[in-house]
Amino acid sequence: MDFFETQERYRRREMRGWMLLLLRIFIIGGALWLGWLWGRAEQISLQAEADLVIYENNQQITQLSDQLQDMQMQVAEAKATGTANLVTGDSRVDMRRVITKQLAVGVSSEQIVQSIQSLGKPLNCRVVQTNDVAVATPFYAGPESKLVLFGGGLNLFIEGSAGKKSQQSQPWFDPAQPVTIRHAFLGGQKMLSGVLPLETVIPAEDWVLKLRFAKADLLGYVTVVIQSCTLR
């Protein structure tokens, strides 16, 4: 065996080694790639199953929430029906239906009683107080815009549109524009809006307060005349 044959044999052996190495790398790489594909498919499948479970749970939660709201409404209507029966008896079906609906939507029984009492025509009225209240505007909102009566049992606050000569230190409102009057009293509150003069009634047990609002002689003020009236 001469030198060239020996060299050729070693070259072929080296080539076989490189081929085996490349083949092993290819096999290992292919196995890793197939493993990644399999893992990716499993991950997508698990994610899809989890999304399906979450969707079904959300659907069940929504259905249960709707059922709970329906049951709460039925309970509220049942309670309201019982209260309405006590108030109106068995002969006033229409009135009982109206009261039931109002109670079911959250209107308190005190407010309903006050509204019913206010339907009566005030009689034997007498003036209790007469006050001038400043009208609050976007340019003026002083403490004189709030009136506290009967030891805090009735609070009045009047808002209006600013007049052409309005100032921050002096009230001046436009009497031709609507004003908003907020009444806060024991058991609730009442809003009144419109162009002066305005009148409203605040009911009590066997009597009512009749309030009349008119433009005062004093610049930027409204005169409030409060009368106590009976309903019988």
Of 121-125, 208-212, 223-227, the one with minimum mean pLDDT is: 121-125
pLDDT digits (tens, 9 = 90+) for 19-49: 888 888 888 888 888 888 888 888 888 888 8
Kindly tell me if the per-residue pLDDT of 91 is higher than 50.
no
Q: Look at residue 165 and tell me whether its pLDDT is greater than 90.
A: no
| Residues 223 and 131 sit within 8 Å (Cβ to Cβ) | yes
CA 133 – CA 156 distance, rounded (Å): 9
Rg (CA), the chain: 42
Residue with tokens 């029966």: 85
pTM for this prediction: 0.47
DSSP 152: G
Residue 139 has pLDDT above 50, yes or no: yes
As a whole number, the mean pLDDT across the chain is: 77
Q: What angle do CA 28, 33, 34 make, to 5 degrees?
A: 100
Domain range summary for the chain, segments of one domain joined by +: 122-230
Q: Which two tokens stand for residue 146?
A: 């709030």
Cα–Cα distance, 80 to 98 (Å, whole number):
10
pLDDT band at 82 (very low <50, low <70, confident <90, very high): low
Residue 192 and residue 200 in contact, taking contact as beta carbons nearer than 8 Å: yes
pLDDT digits (tens, 9 = 90+) for 210-225: 899 998 888 888 999 9
Q: Which of 193, 201, 187 is nearest to 158 (CA)?
A: 193
